[in-house]
Amino acid sequence: MWVELATLLIIGYLCASRSFAYLGLPWISLYIGEIALAAFLLFGPQTSLGPWLRVVQRAKRLRRFECLLLVFLLYGAFQALHGVLSGYPALTAARDTAFNYYPLFLLLGVWVGLKDKDFLRRVIRMLGWWNGCYGTAWVLLLSQLQWKMPGTASAASMVPLFGQPAGSMAALLGLIAFEPRLRKVWHLIALNAFVLLGVQVRAEWAGFVVGLLVFAWLTKRLRHMVAAGALVIALLGVLYVTNFNLPAAATRGGRISIGYIAARAVAPINQNLADNLAPSKSVNNFAATANWRLVWWASIWETVHARAARALLGLGYGYPIGNLNPLIPPGEFIQTPHSDFFYALGFSGWVGVILFGLLQIELLRLLWRSYRVSGQSFGMMFWGAALAASLFEEFFEGPFAAIPFYLLIGAALAPGLLATNVARAPKAARRNAPRFSPEEEG
């Protein structure tokens, strides 16, 4: 049951994002992620040695992570109390602590990875199909439908029935990492590359590039990376030759075409060049979304460092951080500054930034151990891609990115927990990486 639950959460969140996140009891702010986490903590998997949560507490190689996680959880509770005592809404303060308790999903991911050694490869292939097919339908049609998710009338903003797909980056990196012959999955790569370009989230583009660089550094399989790049270039060529041009989603603005895609990528860096690729009105909007973030981040930095106590402990959970951005219309509620560095700094100060950084460094250490054991690079690739994307977009504080991240990373680091010998150099690990038989590839 728990393997199926982890699969559902990964596919659901990455494919349908916000609409999937609102499944549950939204009228009392109880959603599927919190329900799944409560079920895992109270009725989690059983092993021959007892409940999984008790067994995993005795795992020596996870002890450092568990100690950091405990401190991170306690600090989140402290920040919630800090916010309530400062007069901020208790419900908002409690909701902001998700940033601290989402890492608990990593323990479920570890269990799944130990239980099913082929879990990651199989779920990536499933994600490639689901995100590719649903995402293509969303880009071409579903994003234009203004249908609301039932039961979400009290949400801060409209929750669409068909959520924006967010799994292209993970699917593409996973297919490149797990598939020994890309020509067998060229159609999945093409579909997910089209969705990645069509959804037009620049943070995902940046994350994907970082993930590819990590893959090249770890594996030295440059021909594999070039083949994947050639498929993406071929897709761009098809869009150019066919003069593909469709309206983008209302939430994204602009249109889906080669010119608009290039303009969106270039606008934050060189607006004059972007003006040659798309109409100035659209280019101004593309550049404005970057300026909107920069203004907000500068305001957060200045406000937090106005006092030593704030710099150390932050403003507390529940603080209306959207008020620090003069470009947000009055009355519009946005509680994330679209950067996890500034999220941690604004709400919890440098103590929170350091604790989150230590938690991620420990995950990197565990992933590196797993890579040296198995030779499988996906965990390192996805970790690097996610960290890069989180600097420019909502990630670790939102369920549709954070929960799949911790589940996938937990499964990726599982092989390193069982191995007793990691003396092999990374090059030897690559040479001895498991290869799939033709029967398994089919």
Give residue 265's pLDDT: 86
Domain residue extents for the chain: 2-146+163-429
Q: Of 426 and 232, which is predicted with more confidence?
A: 232
Planar angle of CA 267, 268, 274, nearest 5 degrees: 15
Average pLDDT over residues 5-12: 96
* pTM over the 0.85 mark: yes
> What is the rounded CA–CA span in Å between residue 178 and residue 280?
42
Which pairs count as long-range contacts for 226-233, CB under 8 Å and 24+ apart, including other chains? 227/182, 227/183, 228/172, 228/176, 228/182, 228/189, 231/182, 231/186, 231/189, 231/190, 231/193, 232/189, 232/193
Q: What is the pLDDT of residues 169-192, one digit of tens each?
A: 999 999 999 988 888 898 999 999
**In 3D, which of 197, 190, 172 has the Cα closest to residue 257?**
197
**In 3D, which of 173, 234, 109, 163 has the Cα closest to residue 381?**
173
Residue 437 has pLDDT above 50, yes or no: no
Query: What one-character-per-residue DSSP string does 77-96 give?
Result: HHHHHHHHHTT--HHHHHHH
Q: What is the pLDDT of residues 280-309, one digit of tens each?
A: 888 888 888 888 899 999 999 999 999 999
The H or E element containing residue 256 is: strand 255-256
**In 3D, which of 272, 269, 271, 244 has the Cα closest to residue 259?**
244
Q: What is the pLDDT of residues 122-164, one digit of tens each?
A: 999 999 999 999 999 999 998 888 888 887 777 767 888 899 9
Give residue 332's pLDDT: 77
Q: Of 15 and 25, which is predicted with more confidence?
A: 15
Q: Which two tokens stand for residue 369?
A: 């151990």
Residue 45 contacts residue 52 (beta carbons within 8 Å):
yes
Q: What percent of the chain has pLDDT over 90?
A: 60
Q: What is the pLDDT of residues 324-346, one digit of tens each?
A: 998 888 777 888 999 999 999 99
Give residue 407's pLDDT: 97
Average pLDDT over residues 107-129: 95
3-state helix, strand, coil in the chain (%, to 5): 70, 5, 25
Average pLDDT over the chain, rounded to whole? 88
185 CB contacts (<8 Å, ≥6 apart)?
125, 128, 175, 179
Q: What is the pLDDT of residues 189-215, one digit of tens each?
A: 999 999 999 998 999 999 999 999 999
Question: Which residue carries 């916010």 as its tokens?
Answer: 83
Determine how β-strand 246-247 pairs with β-strand 46-47. unpaired
> What is the rounded CA–CA span in Å between residue 113 and residue 10?
14
Residue 311 contacts residue 350 (beta carbons within 8 Å):
yes
- What is residue 247's DSSP assignment? E
Residue 100 has pLDDT above 80, yes or no: yes
216 CB contacts (<8 Å, ≥6 apart)?
222, 225
Angle (deg, nearest 10), helices 222-241 and 168-178: 140
Q: What is the pLDDT of residues 252-266, one digit of tens each?
A: 777 888 888 888 888
Q: What is the pLDDT of residues 365-411, one digit of tens each?
A: 999 999 999 999 999 999 999 999 999 999 999 999 999 999 999 99
Residue 81 contacts residue 94 (beta carbons within 8 Å):
no
Q: What percent of the chain has pLDDT over 70?
A: 94
- Phi, psi (deg, nearest 5) at residue 46: -105, 145
Angle (deg, nearest 10), helices 280-304 and 258-266: 30
Which pairs count as long-range contacts for 353-359, CB under 8 Å and 24+ apart, including other chains? 355/68, 355/71, 355/72, 355/75, 356/72, 356/99, 356/396, 358/68, 359/65, 359/68, 359/69, 359/72, 359/103
> What is the rounded CA–CA span in Å between residue 256 and residue 249?
9
CA distances to 52, 165, 355 from 153, in Å: 38, 22, 36
Residue 423 has pLDDT above 70, yes or no: no
226 CB contacts (<8 Å, ≥6 apart)?
none
Average pLDDT over residues 38-66: 90
Give residue 422's pLDDT: 57
End-to-end alpha carbon distance in the chain: 26
> What is the rounded CA–CA span in Å between residue 52 and residue 366?
19
Residue 240 has pLDDT above 70, yes or no: yes
For the stretch 107-128, what's the b/e string if a residue is b when 16 or more beta carbons lie within 10 angstroms of its beta carbon?
Answer: bbbbbbbbbbeebbbebbbebb
Give residue 436's pLDDT: 30
Question: Which residue carries 């305001």 as its tokens?
Answer: 299
> What is the rounded CA–CA span in Å between residue 56 and residue 86?
37
- What is residue 235's DSSP assignment? H
Residue 80 has pLDDT above 50, yes or no: yes
Query: What one-character-per-residue DSSP string does 14-42 give?
Result: HHHTHHHHT-EEGGGTEEHHHHHHHHHHH
Residue 18 contacts residue 159 (beta carbons within 8 Å):
yes
